[in-house]
C-alpha cells in the first residue's frame, strides 16, 4: 500500500489530524456537523457525558454520549472550502493508519448529519419549518476537482437543471448527490423534503443585492421554478452539496437537516431563529437515539 506523504496528510505533534486537531480515538462513528463553532456546545450540552473537547481555528470537536450512542459534534465553518477539509479529515481519522500512513484494508463508514440554517425557495416552506435534503446540488465547483460519476437519474436531473436555469454558462458546472437513505428515513415526519442548492457565497451567489449589481438577478426565480418530475428545489445554503458529494465518494452516509430561518420568495425572516435551531437539535438527537 502506498505511503501518504507528510505534505499530503498533516499530523501534528500529538498525533492528531492537522485542522481538526483530533486523534482517531477521539472521534465517534456518528457525527453531527454544524457551521457555527459556538453551536457545538449547543448540541453537546444535551450529552450525558463528554469525553473529548478539541479546538483549532474554527474547527471545534466535542465527543461524548447521548444515552448509549457515542456522537461527535464538529464545527465546519461556512462554505464548501471548509467542507473539503472537514470531510477529508474525518475520513482520514477512521480510514488511514496514522502510524504507517497507509489506507486501511477494511474501511469504516461514518454517519454524518449536518444541522444548520437555510433559506427556503418555495412559498409553502415557511420560516421556522425544517427541511431534510433529498439531494445536494452544488453550483460551488468543489466536486469538479474530484473524479466522480453521476448515475443516470442524476445525469437527467442535472441536464434538466442546466437547461432550465442556464447556470452553467457563467458559473461552475453543477453537480448533484443524494442523501444517505439509511439516515433520511428517520427524518420524514415534521420535515419538508427537496433538493438543496449549495452556493459559493451568501450575497451575490444567493441573489442578494446590496451595493453591487448581479450577473444573474433572476437566480432566485430560476431556482424556485425548477422542476424535474417529482423533484423541486426546496432551499439553498452553503455546505450540503459538498457534504453529500464527498460523503458519497468516500462511502459515508450523509444527511443535511436545515432550520428555515428565511423565506426568499416571501421576503420573510424568522423572529426567533435561535429557538428554531434549538428545536432542530433536540429533534435530531431524539431520532438518532432511535437507531
**pTM of the shown model:** 0.97
Q: What is the mean pLDDT of residues 65-83?
A: 97
pLDDT of residue 159: 94
291 pLDDT higher than 90:
no
pLDDT of residue 42: 98
DSSP lists the bridge partners of residue 75 as: 34
Range scoring the smallest mean pLDDT among 26-40, 112-126, 145-159:
145-159
Domains of the chain: 1-108 (3.40.50.1580), 116-291 (3.40.50.1580)
Residue 147 CB neighbours (<10 A): 6
pLDDT in tens, 140-185: 999 999 999 899 999 999 999 999 998 876 778 999 999 999 999 9
Q: Is 67 left (phi over 0), alpha (psi -120 to 50) or beta?
A: left
pLDDT in tens, 197-250: 999 999 999 999 999 999 989 999 999 999 999 999 999 999 999 999 999 999
Amino acid at each position: 500500500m502506498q505511503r501518504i506523504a507528510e505534505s499530503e496528510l498533516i499530523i501534528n505533534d500529538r498525533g492528531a489530524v492537522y485542522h481538526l486537531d483530533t486523534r482517531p480515538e477521539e472521534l465517534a462513528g456518528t457525527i453531527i456537523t454544524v457551521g457555527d463553532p459556538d453551536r457545538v456546545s449547543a448540541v453537546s450540552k444535551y450529552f450525558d457525558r463528554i469525553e473529548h473537547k478539541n479546538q483549532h481555528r474554527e474547527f471545534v470537536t466535542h465527543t461524548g454520549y447521548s444515552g448509549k450512542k457515542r456522537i461527535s459534534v464538529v464545527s465546519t465553518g461556512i462554505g464548501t472550502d471548509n467542507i473539503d477539509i472537514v470531510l477529508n479529515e474525518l475520513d482520514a481519522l477512521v480510514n488511514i493508519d496514522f502510524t504507517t500512513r497507509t489506507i486501511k484494508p477494511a474501511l469504516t463508514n461514518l454517519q454524518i448529519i449536518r444541522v444548520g440554517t437555510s433559506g427556503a425557495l418555495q412559498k409553502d416552506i415557511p420560516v421556522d419549518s425544517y427541511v431534510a435534503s433529498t439531494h445536494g446540488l452544488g453550483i460551488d465547483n468543489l466536486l469538479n476537482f474530484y473524479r466522480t460519476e453521476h448515475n443516470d437519474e442524476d445525469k437527467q436531473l442535472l441536464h434538466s437543471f442546466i437547461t432550465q436555469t442556464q447556470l452553467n454558462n457563467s458559473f461552475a458546472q453543477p453537480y448533484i448527490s443524494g442523501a444517505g437513505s439509511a439516515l433520511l428515513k428517520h427524518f420524514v415526519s415534521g420535515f419538508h423534503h427537496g433538493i438543496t442548492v449549495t452556493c459559493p457565497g451568501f450575497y451575490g451567489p444567493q441573489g442578494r443585492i446590496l451595493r453591487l449589481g448581479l450577473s444573474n438577478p433572476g437566480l432566485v426565480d430560476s431556482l424556485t421554478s425548477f422542476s424535474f418530475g417529482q423533484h423541486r428545489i426546496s432551499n439553498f445554503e452553503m455546505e450540503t452539496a459538498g457534504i453529500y458529494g464527498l460523503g458519497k465518494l468516500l462511502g459515508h452516509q450523509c444527511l443535511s437537516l436545515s432550520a428555515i430561518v428565511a423565506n426568499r420568495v416571501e421576503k420573510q425572516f424568522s423572529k426567533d431563529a435561535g429557538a428554531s435551531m434549538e428545536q432542530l437539535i433536540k429533534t435530531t438527537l431524539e431520532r438518532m437515539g432511535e437507531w
